[in-house]
Homo-oligomer: A and B are copies of this chain.
């Protein structure tokens, strides 16, 4: 029997997936969490075989939970299931020790199969997401450029970004300018949009 921990902030979805997985003879959902913190707590208490995490959780995101789990409970395999698959998340997830990464567009049978694969020590990444990740490539942004662009994405003016990043306004403009160049955008807002769709920020 494979013991599964499920984390998803949407009650309906969580319950529905649990019901579906419960129909399989060899799978058992032993815990359900609505937040990242709760997922960690339950994982420590229940020591499931596989943790099935949604990418977007109210507090921590799924990849962060997975990374922590991977460090604390090496015997617990982690999988990410997501609605919006951004290439950057996939890369972060894989470096964080995640062994399965799928979109919610897959069928329940596929999900169950992947749970078994992952439990057996295998890996599985949604082919379409993998293709997107490869075609999007690595982020050309330096750490600082990404930082600044993240703040810029909220629509804040340069002065505020400068304050929040503890940089001089001029430096912020330099980074933004560089980021705009690297993304091929016309201005920082478009750059932020592009970087986000590519998962670079």
Residues of A whose CB lies within 8 Å of any CB of B are 9-13, 15-17, 19-20, 23, 81, 83, 103-108, 111, 154-157, 160, 185-187, 189-193
Residues in B neighbouring A155, C-beta threshold 8 A: 185-187, 189-193
19 CB-based A-B contacts, threshold 8 Å: A10-B83, A10-B104, A11-B106, A11-B107, A12-B17, A12-B104, A12-B105, A12-B106, A13-B13, A15-B107, A19-B19, A19-B20, A154-B193, A155-B185, A156-B186, A157-B186, A157-B187, A160-B186, A189-B189
CA distance A189 to B187 in the complex (A): 12
Residues in B neighbouring A11, C-beta threshold 8 A: 104-107
CA distance A193 to B20 in the complex (A): 37
Contact A190 B156, CB 8 Å, known A19-B19, A83-B83 = yes
Who on chain B is nearest to A10 by CB?
B104
Tell me the smallest distance from the CB of A84 to a CB of chain B, in Å.
10
Return the contact of A105 from the options B9, B20, B187 (Cβ within 8 A): B9
Residues in B neighbouring A160, C-beta threshold 8 A: 186
Tell whether, in the assembled complex, residue B154 and residue A190 are in contact, meaning their CB atoms are under 8 Å apart: yes
Contacts A9-B105, A16-B17 supplied; 12 other A-B pairs, CB < 8 Å: A10-B83, A10-B103, A10-B105, A11-B106, A12-B106, A13-B104, A16-B16, A155-B186, A155-B187, A156-B186, A156-B190, A189-B189
Residues in B neighbouring A106, C-beta threshold 8 A: 11-12
List of 5 A-B pairs having minimum Cβ-Cβ separation, nearest first: A16-B16, A155-B190, A155-B189, A10-B104, A12-B104
Residues in B neighbouring A9, C-beta threshold 8 A: 105
